[in-house]
Amino acid sequence: MRVVAIGGGVSSCTFASIYKSKHPKDEVFIIEQNKDILSRVLVSGNGRANLFNERFLSDTSTCFNNPSEYQRLIDKHLVKDFLNDYLNKINLSIIKDEEGRCYPYSNTAKSVKRQMLDYLTKLKVNIVRESKVISIDTKEKTITYLKDNKKEKMNYDTLYFGIGGVAYDRNKENYLDLFKTLNVKYECFEPGLVPLITKEKIPNYLVGSRLKCKITLLISQKELYSEEGEILFKKDGLSGISIFNASLFIKENSPANYQIKIDPFNRNPFNQMPELNSKTLYGILNEKISDYILDKLRLNSFTKENIIESLTFKINGKYPLKEAQISLGGIETFEIDNTFHLKENPSVIIGGESLNIHAICGGFNMGFAFLSGYKAGNN
C-alpha cells in the first residue's frame, strides 16, 4: 500500500505521521516543492507559531466563514483526541494566552517544526523535496512531478491533497490546474486576513495612528461581522487584527456595498463621558483622531451617532494576495465526506487550506489544518 501526501505543510505532515503510525508497513510519501517542509510554520504568530485556540473546545460559530461545514467535519471529541494524542506523540507542550491563543511552550515556531519533523523521521515517512506536482491522474492513480527539471511519476493507492493556499508568494495558476485534474468544484482564490482599501482618502496626518474601538462590517447597511480591537490607519485604508478578520467576509468583485463602521466609545459607557464638544473630544480620543472627526463633522452636532458616522468608511477592495495571511477559496466542502475523502473518488483526501473553509486570526486556520490531517489520518 502506498500513500502519497502532496504538500509539506501542517495538514499533510499531520496526516502522514498519523497514518504511518497506524500502518507502519505501508509506504508513505510527502511531496514538497520547496527545499524543506513546514516552512510556513516558522512565520506563524510572528515566529511564535499560533498553532491552536482554546475555543476549538467550546464555540467556534463566529470563527469560520462556513461554520456549519466546520461543525460537520470537526467535533469536540476529535479536538480532545488530537490534543491528548498527537501533541503527546510529537512531544510538544503548548501554552495559551489570556485570549485562548495557543503557542508552543518554548515560544518559538522552530520547536513545532522540529518536533513534527522528528516524528516523521522516526516513523520513516519518505520526504521528497524540491519536487513540484504538475498533474494528477485519478484514473491511473498516478501523480506527475518535476524534479531537477525532469518529469517523474509516482503511483499511489491513497492520495492526500494538502497543498495549502496561495497567499504571499505562491502561484495560484498551478493550484487551479491541479484542482481541475481532480474534477472538483472550487472557488477561485482571493485575499483573506488582509488590510482593507477605503474609498475615503486617509489624510497624511492620520496615517500610522492607532485606535482601540469596535468595528462593524456592514453590507448594504446590514451587520455582517463585528469585533473589538485595535485598528491602524494606512495611507489607503485600514488594518489591524479586527480588520483582517472582517476581510474574511468580504467578497472581491462583488456588487455589494461594504462599509466599516468604527465606534471609538466601546470601552467606556457613553453616559460616563463628559458632554461632547470640540474641547472634551481631545480628552477622550487622541489628537489625530480628534482632528479627523472635527474635519468630518464641521457644522454637525457633537453626538455619538454623528461621530461614529464620521468614522464610517466605504470599502473599495482588499490588499493583494501577496500581502494576505491566507487565501480564501479552494475546493468546495460539499465535495468531501465527513472524513475528508472525495465523495466521487474516495481514494483522494482533501485537507487544510486547500478546502474552501477559513477562519479568523488566532490559531484557527492552523488548528483546522492540524485537525483535518489528524482526522483523515485516523480514517
Percent of the chain with pLDDT over 70: 97
The model's confidence at residue 232, banded by pLDDT at 50, 70 and 90, is very high
What are the respective helix, strand and coil percentages of the chain, to the nearest 5? 35, 30, 35
Q: Indicate if the pLDDT at residue 269 is higher than 60.
A: no
* Cβ-based neighbour number of residue 82 at 10 Å: 22
Percent of the chain with pLDDT over 90: 87
Q: Indicate if the pLDDT at residue 86 is higher than 90.
A: yes
pLDDT in tens, 56-83: 999 999 999 999 999 999 999 999 999 9
And the C-alpha cell for 143? 501523480
pLDDT at 366: 98
pLDDT at 273: 65
Residues 6+ apart with CB under 8 A from 330: 165, 186, 187, 189, 353, 354, 355, 356, 357
The model's confidence at residue 274, banded by pLDDT at 50, 70 and 90, is low
Q: Nearest 5°: phi and psi at 306?
A: -65, -35
Rg for the chain (alpha carbons), in Å? 23
The DSSP code for 373 is H
The model's confidence at residue 51, banded by pLDDT at 50, 70 and 90, is very high
Judge contact between 231 and 237, C-beta under 8 A: no
Mean pLDDT of 105-123: 98
User: Domains of the chain by range and CATH?
Assistant: 2-191+322-377 (3.50.50.60), 196-318 (no CATH)
> What's the half-sphere exposure (Cβ side, CA atoms, 13 Å) at 326?
32
pLDDT at 39: 93
Adjacency order of strands within the sheet including 52-53: 52-53, 101-104, 94-96
Instruction: Please give the torsion angle defined by the CA atoms of residues 85, 91, 92 and 94, in that order, rounded to the nearest 10 degrees.
Output: 70
The model's confidence at residue 31, banded by pLDDT at 50, 70 and 90, is very high
Judge contact between 308 and 228, C-beta under 8 A: no
The model's confidence at residue 131, banded by pLDDT at 50, 70 and 90, is very high
> What average pLDDT does the structure give for the chain?
95
Mean pLDDT of 341-358: 98
pLDDT at 189: 94
And the C-alpha cell for 170? 505562491
Q: Is beta strand 158-161 parallel, antiparallel or unpaired with respect to 2-6?
A: parallel
pLDDT in tens, 359-379: 999 999 999 999 999 999 999
The model's pTM: 0.94
Mean pLDDT of 94-115: 97
